[in-house]
């Protein structure tokens, strides 16, 4: 074993969002125990119940009683969405390594030790799972994600085939620098690439299983939202620290065209003494000049906004007492 693969001072937090996953939650936590027992590093599970209306909360509480305080349960005050749940779990996680996965048992806990080894042996900051043999119905789910993955690869240099796979591992100090909001959990590799070298983001083929209990929480409308999120990601990767350049360059170009039109009309009026009041160019010139001013000032506003930290997008109702949390293995606390 190489030195870096010896798990010297590493510890692991497994972050899982659950929304109406009764029948899956307890099973998954039991399965995680079976899969993670061989680990030599200390580990914990951070289960985030995203405002479930079924008995997920009770099932998670029972798992905590059964397995111990290293199973941390956070109950949201209402449903805030998968991204907010993942972000919360990441905020609460204490491990030096953080694994995220779905709570519906589609991801396989037995992949986790391999993900850890792959990350440490290759000295990476993030490894994304690749559902090589994806068990989801229909081309309508696979084709849009293929296009999105390719666009992300082009603009960010991140060589990840399957951004939609929730099973991922991160170094905690890297992922904790990123703020995930909205439904941006699908674009974590791009966000991580904004705080580390894209070369330090790898991928590994992982197992993917069909959902056996419960339903997918997303419908066909996901495709539109993925496209809109992609636009934001692509914009952000290039202009997050200088949005004024993005809006300003359009603004200056429009303003210049509008200014030239108005200048020309002014000359016509003054030199030739011709009336320009009804010329279409007058309207176009005024419109362009105004739009230009608007875009430049929008750019200034965007610059001001980027200097304000974003608010957190969730509220916690209860969390299992943090000071009582224990690691599963080799803990001295
Ligand atoms: N999820 C969540 N909040 C939501 C929607 C989903 O915590 O508002 C969880 C869900 O319980 C599951 C994971 O996110 O653990 C992935 O959801 P789902 O299986 O519905 O997505 P798909 O596999 O269809 O992409
Ligand atoms: Mg699923």
Tell me the pLDDT tens digit for each residue of 47-93.
999 999 999 999 999 999 999 999 999 999 999 999 999 999 999 99
Strand partners of residue 208: 107
Does 103 or 241 have the greater pLDDT score?
103
Does 176 or 309 have the greater pLDDT score?
176
Whole-number pLDDT of residue 318: 78
How far apart CA 114 and CA 33 sit, in angstroms, is: 15
Whole-number pLDDT of residue 1: 36
How far apart CA 130 and CA 164 sit, in angstroms, is: 9
Nearest CA to ligand 1 atom 8: 81
* pLDDT over 80 at 309, yes or no: no
* For residues 309-321, average pLDDT: 70
Whole-number pLDDT of residue 2: 39
Q: Are 16 and 89 spatial neighbours (Cβ–Cβ below 8 Å)?
A: yes
> With a 6 A CB cut-off, is 141 part of the ligand 1 pocket?
no
How many angstroms separate the first and last alpha carbons of the chain?
28
Closest CA to 80 of 22, 17, 14, 26: 17
> With a 6 A CB cut-off, is 109 part of the ligand 1 pocket?
no
Judged on CB neighbours under 10 Å (0-12, 13-18, 19+), 329 is: middle
In 58-154, which ranges are E strands? 71-76, 97-100, 126-131
Return the axis-axis angle of helices 139-156 and 222-239, rounded to nearest 10°: 0
> With a 6 A CB cut-off, is 103 part of the ligand 1 pocket?
yes
* 164 three-state secondary structure: coil
Whole-number pLDDT of residue 90: 97
Report CA(18)–ligand 1 centroid distance (Å).
7
* For residues 269-282, average pLDDT: 94
> With a 6 A CB cut-off, is 79 part of the ligand 1 pocket?
yes
Whole-number pLDDT of residue 328: 84
Report CA(169)–ligand 1 centroid distance (Å).
18
Question: pTM of the entire structure?
Answer: 0.85
Token duo for residue 203? 């991928």
At CB < 8 A and 24+ separation, what contacts does 38-41 make?
38/113, 39/7, 39/12, 39/113, 39/116, 39/329, 40/7, 40/329, 40/330, 41/7, 41/10, 41/11, 41/12, 41/97, 41/329, 41/330
Whole-number pLDDT of residue 106: 96
* pLDDT over 50 at 94, yes or no: yes
How far apart CA 50 and CA 160 sit, in angstroms, is: 28
pLDDT > 70 in the chain, percent: 92
Q: Which of 140-144, 208-212, 238-242, 290-294 tops mean pLDDT?
A: 290-294
Nearest CA to ligand 1 atom 14: 82
* pLDDT over 90 at 143, yes or no: no
* pLDDT over 70 at 303, yes or no: yes
* For residues 151-170, average pLDDT: 91
Which ligand 1 atom sits closest to the C-alpha of 18? 11
> With a 6 A CB cut-off, is 80 part of the ligand 1 pocket?
no
Does 164 or 19 have the greater pLDDT score?
19
* Residue 146, Ramachandran bin (φ over 0: left; ψ between -120 and 50: alpha; else beta): alpha
Per-residue confidence band for 28, with pLDDT thresholds at 50, 70 and 90: very high
> With a 6 A CB cut-off, is 162 part of the ligand 1 pocket?
no
Mean of per-residue pLDDT scores for the chain: 90
């Amino acid at each position: 074993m190489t030195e870096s693969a010896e798990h010297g001072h590493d510890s692991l937090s497994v972050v899982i969002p659950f929304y109406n996953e009764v029948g899956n939650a307890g099973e998954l936590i039991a399965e995680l125990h079976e899969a993670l027992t061989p680990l030599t590093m200390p580990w914990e599970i951070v289960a985030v119940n995203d405002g479930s209306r079924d008995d997920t909360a009770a099932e998670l509480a029972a798992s905590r009683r059964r397995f111990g305080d290293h199973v941390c349960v956070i109950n949201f005050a209402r449903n805030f969405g998968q991204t907010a749940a993942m972000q919360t779990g990441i905020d609460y996680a204490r491990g030096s390594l953080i694994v995220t996965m779905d709570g519906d048992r589609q991801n396989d806990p037995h992949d986790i030790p391999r993900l850890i080894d792959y990350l440490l042996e290759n000295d990476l900051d993030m490894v994304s799972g690749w559902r090589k043999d994806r068990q989801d119905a229909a081309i309508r789910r696979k084709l849009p994600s293929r296009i999105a993955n390719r666009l992300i690869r082009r603009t960010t240099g991140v060589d990840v085939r399957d951004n939609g796979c929730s099973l991922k591992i991160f170094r905690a100090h890297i992922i904790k620098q990123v703020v995930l909001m909205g439904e941006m959990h699908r674009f974590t590799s791009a966000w991580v690439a904004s705080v580390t070298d894209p070369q330090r983001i790898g991928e590994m083929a992982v197992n993917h299983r069909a959902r056996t209990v419960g339903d997918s929480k997303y419908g066909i409308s996901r495709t539109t939202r993925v496209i809109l999120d992609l636009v934001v990601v692509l914009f952000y990767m290039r202009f997050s620290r200088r949005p004024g350049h993005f809006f300003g360059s359009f603004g200056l170009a429009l303003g210049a065209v509008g200014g030239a039109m108005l200048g020309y009309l002014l000359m016509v009026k003054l030199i030739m003494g011709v009336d320009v009041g009804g010329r279409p160019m007058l309207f176009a010139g005024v419109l362009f000049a105004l739009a230009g001013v608007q875009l430049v000032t929008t750019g200034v506003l965007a610059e001001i906004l980027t200097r304000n930290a974003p608010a957190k997008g969730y509220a916690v109702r209860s969390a299992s007492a943090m000071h009582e949390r224990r690691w599963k293995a080799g803990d001295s606390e």
